[in-house]
Amino acid sequence: MTNAFELADEHRELLDHCDRIGRDVLYPLAQRMDNDEWWPEDIMPQLGELGLLGVTVDSKYGGAGLDFMSCGVIAQAFSRWNHAFGLAWVVHDNLFANNVFANGSEYLKEKYLPDVCAGKKIGALGLTEPGAGSDALGSMRTTAVKDGDDYVLNGTKIYITNGPIADVVLVYAKTNKNAGSKGITAFLLETTAPGFKVAQKLKKMGFRGSQTAELVFEDCRVPAKNIVGELDQGHKVVMSGLDLERAMINPICVGIAERALELSVEYAKTREQFGKPIASFQMVQSRLADMYTLIESMKLMTYKALSACQSVGHGEAGRGEIHKLTAAAIMYAANSLNTVLDNGVQIHGGSGYIWESEMNRLFRATKLLEIGAGTTEVRKLIIAGELLAK
């Protein structure tokens, strides 16, 4: 019988397997990715060969056909060793591939998913706009106008993870200007389409190896058959997908926190002050104990949210218990990660404040996780809204 507070054996084995890949393959790339905002082009095809892309996609389309928890533990393992790559992987595998698998037509799944699952094409999701942010749907200005068998897109998207390297983008545009936050449609767009361009690659404080861009659409044509889901019903794809996205950010938080604790324990044992290791100082021990306790509770919230998502279809998310739970889980995980890394830097002292140190790289990553996929404030509104709706 599986302990409700432990990973099942198959998930534990997958976590350990991907941890080894993360340590041996991804970790050696992390420093250069952060220093130069560099992207290793050969990694995605390698992971495709290993069956670690398209994790939740049916094998019929080249995926692994595994569950949502499997996707989560892979993200956790990768993020321990290279969180910038972990984020890029989550966007490719969950925000794009799983979204297309859950909502796309048979035509789209057969045409695009095999290459995405093989790592031959990289996916991204284009939702946020320069004037939008938390009100991504209501403030959307990107439009798509029907013209024959195509739609013509005009607009701009900002803060798009994988934007500079994407081959395919799931992009949202307004198709009915009079429908408010509704009247939005999701399209699968190839980045080779005329009228599409990467306006600029954005330089970030953290997650620097994860490529981020501003995307521009100028009379960009996309076939009508590339609509994902239903016309004017893109809000359903957005809202259900956001719950799954929040659940998938949790294991990134856990992975970063685990690595921070490991580094802090090692440092405390080897760094000497006043003739003895700082690990012998009770105030250092107190910080380590706090870090461990927060991480273990982060895991409980993370695995609970991932498990809940497994039994919820795309059309069922975006409301109710899963909406509340995923918002609570990411809020707790991200806020706890901030505290864990604050303790970690304090234990490292001056060495943790140096840009090139691994602890500094981890610390610079924390803030994004309190902003992305809905800010802490939005998460609180979701939780309170669901509580008060009863």
Catalytic residue numbers, as ranges = 245
Give me 302's structure tokens: 């993370």
Please state, in angstroms and rounded to a whole number, the distance separating the CA atoms of residues 231 and 184: 8
Q: Tokens 């609970």 — which residue?
A: 304
Give the three-state DSSP class for 3.
coil
Place of tokens 């990768």: 78
Q: How far apart are CA 289 and CA 292, in angstroms?
A: 5
* CA distance to 45, 75, 215, 236, per residue, from 55 (Å): 14, 11, 27, 23
Residue count (the chain): 390
Please give the DSSP secondary-structure letter assigned to residue 203. Answer: P
Burial class (CB in 10 A: 0-12, 13-18, 19+), 178: exposed
Inter-residue contact 229 to 186 (CB < 8 Å): yes
Distances (CA, A) of 117 to 56, 61, 99, 122: 10, 8, 13, 9
H or E element at residue 174: strand 168-174
The Cα–Cα gap between 160 and 213 comes to 5
**Angle 110-161-95 (CA atoms, 0-180°, nearest 5)?**
40
Long-range contacts formed by 49-56: CB under 8 A, 24+ apart: 49/118, 49/119, 50/21, 52/18, 52/21, 53/92, 53/93, 53/97, 53/116, 53/117, 53/118, 53/119, 54/93, 54/97, 54/101, 54/113, 54/116, 54/117, 55/93, 56/93, 56/94, 56/97, 56/98, 56/101
Beta carbons within 8 Å of 313's beta carbon, 6+ residues apart? 102, 240
Residues sharing a CB contact under 8 Å with residue 219, sequence separation 6 or more, in sequence order = 152, 153, 154, 195
